[in-house]
Structure 1
Amino acid sequence: MQKIQFDYFTGMEAEQYSFYRVPKVLFTEQCFKTLSCEAKVLYGLMLDRMSLSI
């Protein structure tokens, strides 16, 4: 099996990527434990779209 090696990002290189914000509470609180990871990521996507609309 071939080992994959990834280069680290430094300085301004990291600025070229955007991220989706997913509230940590979705992963830490017991009441959200039954939600799938896909549902939690979808919430982050919808939250991002909402912030663009504001």
Structure 2
Amino acid sequence: MDTLIFAGLLATWYALVRERSRAGAVAGWWVAALAAAGLFAFLISGNLSMGLNF
């Protein structure tokens, strides 16, 4: 998940450096944020179903 977050931030930085549209940079950030949130929810639900506690 850390790699996904880092890749999303790197892609957003690259879009800003190359002076792409701001909407494209924000969309890339949201895609990475939603993917990370989905993976985190999957991790939590899987661990809880195995009886692990947090």
TM-score norm. by structure 1 comes to 0.42
- Structure showing greater Rg: 1
TM-score norm. by structure 2 comes to 0.42
Structure with the higher fraction of residues in helix conformation: 2
